[in-house]
Amino acid sequence: MPNNSGARGPYKSGLKKQKLIIESAVDLLIDEGYHNFSLRKVSQRAGISGGNLQHHFKTKEDLLEAMLDSLISVYLETFKALSEGQIPPKERLRKILEHVILDLNSKSTTLIFPELWSLSNHDKRVSKSVDKMYERYRAVLKDCVAKINPKLSTLQIEKVALFMSASIEGHTIFIGYKRNWTHHTKSIIEMAYTSFLFLIESGNIPE
Amino acid sequence: MPNNSGARGPYKSGLKKQKLIIESAVDLLIDEGYHNFSLRKVSQRAGISGGNLQHHFKTKEDLLEAMLDSLISVYLETFKALSEGQIPPKERLRKILEHVILDLNSKSTTLIFPELWSLSNHDKRVSKSVDKMYERYRAVLKDCVAKINPKLSTLQIEKVALFMSASIEGHTIFIGYKRNWTHHTKSIIEMAYTSFLFLIESGNIPE
Amino acid sequence: MPNNSGARGPYKSGLKKQKLIIESAVDLLIDEGYHNFSLRKVSQRAGISGGNLQHHFKTKEDLLEAMLDSLISVYLETFKALSEGQIPPKERLRKILEHVILDLNSKSTTLIFPELWSLSNHDKRVSKSVDKMYERYRAVLKDCVAKINPKLSTLQIEKVALFMSASIEGHTIFIGYKRNWTHHTKSIIEMAYTSFLFLIESGNIPE
Amino acid sequence: MPNNSGARGPYKSGLKKQKLIIESAVDLLIDEGYHNFSLRKVSQRAGISGGNLQHHFKTKEDLLEAMLDSLISVYLETFKALSEGQIPPKERLRKILEHVILDLNSKSTTLIFPELWSLSNHDKRVSKSVDKMYERYRAVLKDCVAKINPKLSTLQIEKVALFMSASIEGHTIFIGYKRNWTHHTKSIIEMAYTSFLFLIESGNIPE
DNA sequence: AATGAATGAGCGTTCATTCAT
DNA sequence: TATGAATGAACGCTCATTCAT
């Protein structure tokens, strides 16, 4: 019964509908890209009137923000899960790489992230949210890196985590859903693990 | 001198105008992103009427194609230049990495590539052009890799070139123009060279 | 104390809210004009939900009617006050002119009356209410005129009262709130008194 | 051949259509009032598509401005005509009053001016145009007044002209088209002439 | 008495495109 | 080549109103 006890706040049916709207919106974003994204299409997918959509999300920007929050929260939870448990650090690194790189194969990730990158370049709010997500992403990596080679300085850890996460993201457009090199995903994981581990253990990272 | 027939003369007025239009269009794409891209705005930037624009480029798609060709040709020339000359292979690898990673800092590259990646996901023609460009990109890398470690199989070379190019592309959104980690560009180049060279020389690449 | 039955009690909660709504609506009309008047904005100003507003006033027309009644009643009371008391008729005429012309300077009068005149032209109900108000207005003037020059016929009295009231109304847009000639208000009063009195006393009024 | 000689500027058919649009817009304003005025209705009345309307008038404000210019120019021409010719000043005053007061009976004047007064209160540009028109109006009156009584000071002339024009405007809502007192128009003209002339000749005007 | 949910029409405006000039 | 004229669909958004809660 979240914030619904008194006379204020959305009704239960309203919260459900908002979820439905966000799902419809994300599906549309995946299917058509942001340059073909419109509130009309969202309302059609959700099976509601345009007026009702605007009742739930005052503006397009509001809906976009809600979509972003919804999308990012999934990844944040994943990162949290990946940083929990008691596992040897190298093994954890492998697990992380396996998970995030395999995730690139998914339709949703393949199709949504390029939209986010593009939007980030033209919308401060989006860029802020995306930046924050990547920060959390790197935090998981940094924790892992520090445990593998405790001699690394903070700056070195920072840099290698940045290098790792950026390198991984770049594969989206090559091994993503229905892309040309999806079948090389396993090999990519191997090369990532091998080369990243070398960087970390050798300590050959600029200060 | 409105003579416009034949193939002679460096800048026939028609071609000149087409160039102007394409430049205006690219500028618009950079400034506003494809989701805010419209023929109207292009014609305004080019200082011509909408009707005239459509005389030179029948449809939006036609203009997009011309833009793409124009954009990609620049990179193709760069790749060609990078593969020429007589340099020791490792040195050449370094030069390539330096060049392509430094290029990520440029406004144009930072802002255009996410648009291309996004468009690739929803437009076959764009994806074809972009794929072809990356193929040429990898060809340069492959040539270099093969010379550094001649023992690698064709498949290994393919894979490591894919891994390298993908890793580099991923940095666009982190060390690009006005992005948060631009100042780490030099370090990124170092880490890329170190780790890629390790992969190549160790031969630790899946078959 | 949600007791709401019967006619007792000065401010039953329902009436209170209705008053609040009407005040908000009038303020909106003053600030934005009828062409920017909407129930949505009224409900926002009143700090209530749209649904609740429509609970108190079924339709936009209903609210408009209530606003009109509220607005006009103020003027009717003024007219009543102006016609009471024992004063020499010329002195009373002066008082009336002073009062009604000075009232044109007020923000509310300046901004509301043009809206009423405009609405009168397209809404029978509004025109009826406004006409009735002006009738009462003229009644006060007629009473005064008759006492100043008892020789005037009913028709003459009617005509001069019409001429006087119409002439005065016309100054709204010139000496009204924040208008260009507000500082001439005193002079206008003088000219009105002088010329109207001449008309009345000379009896030079068409039959 | 106004501004249409070269390759630029509107075509003849375009100018004609713009006139048609303005006429349709004015008719709509008269029939429904500004609070019911919409570009869609204008385009329907003009028998053209919405897109085409927006081709001729970029925004609603642009159309409004063009309408205003068109409306006001008619009155300006009238004022000019009224101030021309060689007539004894009193006779000219009578002619002016007859003309402007009789004009109040016309449908167009009756219905448009209240809209202008209302709009003036909420739109600086409209208020500026309307103010300028009334200035020209008073200029005609001032010239006439000065000739009837040359002893009046500039300020007195100013004030009496203001008083006269304002008084006349006020009759719009009473003796206008299909209003209750249209049949008193002649009498109003008489009273106006009598009382205004008294003010002017007696010189009984505040300094 | 009061909320939020929902509708359907309408708003001003932008868009890609076609066509006459 | 180049313009302006014209279309028809779509856009984000506001509106008055109805209704379930």
pLDDT digits over A117-161, tens only?
Answer: 999 999 999 999 999 999 999 999 999 999 999 999 999 999 999
Within 8 A of A33 by CB-CB distance, chain B residues are 118-119, 121-122
CB half-sphere exposure, D185, CA atoms < 13 A: 21
CB contact under 8 A, C162 and D188: yes
CA of B34 to C1' of E15 (A): 14
The C-alpha of B122 sits at a distance from chain A's nearest C-alpha, in angstroms, of 7
Residue with tokens 């992380």: A96
Q: In the predicted model, what is the mean pLDDT of residues C159-178?
A: 98
Other CB atoms within 10 Å distance of the CB of residue C77: 10
Does any CB of chain A come closer than 8 Å to the CB of residue B106?
no
The closest CB to that of B162, out of A117, A165, A184, belongs to: A184
Share of chain B above pLDDT 70, in %: 94
Other CB atoms within 10 Å distance of the CB of residue C16: 11
CB contact under 8 A, C114 and D114: yes
Looking at the predicted structure, is the pLDDT value of residue C14 above 90? no
The span from the first CA to the last CA of chain A, in angstroms, equals 51
CA angle (C22 as vertex; C21, C27 as ends), nearest 5: 100
B66-94 pLDDT, tens digit per residue, is 999 999 999 999 999 999 989 999 999 99
pLDDT for C13: 67
User: Hey, what CATH topology would domain C1-58 get?
Assistant: Arc Repressor Mutant, subunit A (1.10.10)
Nearest CA in chain C to D199: C195
Looking at the predicted structure, is the pLDDT value of residue A7 above 80? no
Nucleotides on strand E lying under 7 Å from protein C-beta? 1-21
Within 8 A of B121 by CB-CB distance, chain A residues are 33, 110-111, 114
A60-116 pLDDT, tens digit per residue, is 999 999 999 999 999 999 999 999 989 999 999 999 999 999 999 999 999 999 999
Contacts with C, D 156-175, CB within 8 Å: 159-160, 162-163, 165-175
Among B97, B173, B185, B202, the strongest candidate for a mutation testing the A interface, having the largest count of A CBs within 10 A, is B173
CB-neighbour burial class of residue B65 (10 A; exposed 0-12, middle 13-18, buried 19+):
middle
Other CB atoms within 10 Å distance of the CB of residue D105: 17
CB contact under 8 A, C192 and D32: no
The closest CB to that of A35, out of B34, B169, B174, belongs to: B34
The closest CB to that of C33, out of D37, D122, D181, belongs to: D122
Say if A and C touch: at least 3 Cβ pairs within 8 Å: no
CA of D37 to C1' of E12 (A): 12
CA of D50 to C1' of F9 (A): 11
Q: Subunits with at least 3 CB pairs below 8 A relative to chain D?
A: C
User: Where, residue-wise, is CATH 1.10.357.10 in chain D?
Assistant: 60-202
Of all nucleotides in the shown strands, which has a C1' nearest the CA of C54?
Answer: F17
C58-99 pLDDT, tens digit per residue, is 999 999 999 999 999 999 999 999 999 899 999 999 999 999
Check: CB of residue D205 under 8 Å from CB of residue D145: no
Confidence of residue C166 (pLDDT cuts 50, 70, 90): very high
Q: Which of D7, D38, D22, D145 is nearest to D72 (CA)?
A: D22
**What mean pLDDT is reported for chain D?**
94
Check: CB of residue C173 under 8 Å from CB of residue D117: yes
A33-44 pLDDT, tens digit per residue, is 999 999 999 999
Confidence of residue A14 (pLDDT cuts 50, 70, 90): confident
What distance in Å separates the CA atoms of residue C203 and residue C199, rounded to the nearest whole number?
6
Residue nearest to nucleotide E17 (CA to C1'): B59
Nearest CA in chain A to B199: A195
What distance in Å separates the CA atoms of residue A147 and residue A96, rounded to the nearest whole number?
14
Say if A and B touch: at least 3 Cβ pairs within 8 Å: yes
Contacts with B, A 44-103, CB within 8 Å: none
Phi, psi for residue B20 in degrees, rounded to 5: -60, -45
pLDDT for A6: 41
The closest CB to that of D206, out of C35, C119, C187, belongs to: C187
pLDDT for A4: 38
Of all nucleotides in the shown strands, which has a C1' nearest the CA of D56?
Answer: F5
* Alpha helices, H only, chain C: 13-32, 39-46, 50-56, 60-82, 89-103, 107-120, 124-148, 154-170, 172-175, 185-202
Contacts with D, C 121-150, CB within 8 Å: 121-122, 131, 134
Nearest CA in chain B to A181: B162
Structure-derived torsion over alpha carbons of residues A125, A130, A133, A139, reported in degrees to the nearest 10: -110
Check: CB of residue A137 under 8 Å from CB of residue A165: yes
Nucleotides on strand F lying under 7 Å from protein C-beta? 1-21
Check: CB of residue C171 under 8 Å from CB of residue D167: yes
User: Where, residue-wise, is CATH 1.10.10.60 in chain D?
Assistant: 1-58
What distance in Å separates the CA atoms of residue B99 and residue D169, rounded to the nearest whole number?
77
Say if D and B touch: at least 3 Cβ pairs within 8 Å: no
Contacts with D, C 176-195, CB within 8 Å: 180-181, 184, 186-188, 190-192, 194-195
Coil/strand/helix, residue A40: helix
Of all nucleotides in the shown strands, which has a C1' nearest the CA of D63?
Answer: E12
What the block records as the tokens of D131 is 């103010």
Tens of each residue's pLDDT in chain D, 207 residues: 333 334 467 778 889 999 999 999 999 999 999 999 999 999 999 999 999 999 999 999 999 999 999 999 999 999 999 999 899 999 999 999 999 999 999 999 999 999 999 999 999 999 999 999 999 999 999 999 999 999 999 999 999 999 999 999 999 999 999 999 999 999 999 999 999 999 999 999 999
B126-136 pLDDT, tens digit per residue, is 999 999 999 99
The closest CB to that of C122, out of D33, D166, D174, belongs to: D33
CA of D140 to C1' of F18 (A): 57
pLDDT for B13: 67
pLDDT for D74: 96
Higher-pLDDT residue of D8 and B172 is B172
C-D CB pairs within 8 A amount to: 148
CB contact under 8 A, C175 and D186: no
The C-alpha of A179 sits at a distance from chain B's nearest C-alpha, in angstroms, of 9
pLDDT for D198: 98
Among D167, D194, D198, D207, the strongest candidate for a mutation testing the C interface, having the largest count of C CBs within 10 A, is D167
Nearest CA in chain A to B134: A174
Other CB atoms within 10 Å distance of the CB of residue B131: 14
* Alpha helices, H only, chain B: 13-32, 39-46, 50-56, 60-82, 89-103, 107-120, 124-148, 154-170, 172-175, 185-202
Q: Which of B109, B107, B130, B108 is nearest to B118 (CA)?
A: B130
pLDDT for D9: 74
CB half-sphere exposure, D63, CA atoms < 13 A: 29
Check: CB of residue B166 under 8 Å from CB of residue A170: yes
Predicted TM-score (pTM) of this structure: 0.92
What the block records as the tokens of C2 is 């949600």
Looking at the predicted structure, is the pLDDT value of residue B5 above 70? no
Say if D and C touch: at least 3 Cβ pairs within 8 Å: yes
pLDDT for D8: 63
pLDDT for A78: 95
CATH superfamily of B60-202: Tetracycline Repressor, domain 2 (1.10.357.10)
Q: Subunits with at least 3 CB pairs below 8 A relative to chain A?
A: B
Within 8 A of B192 by CB-CB distance, chain A residues are 163
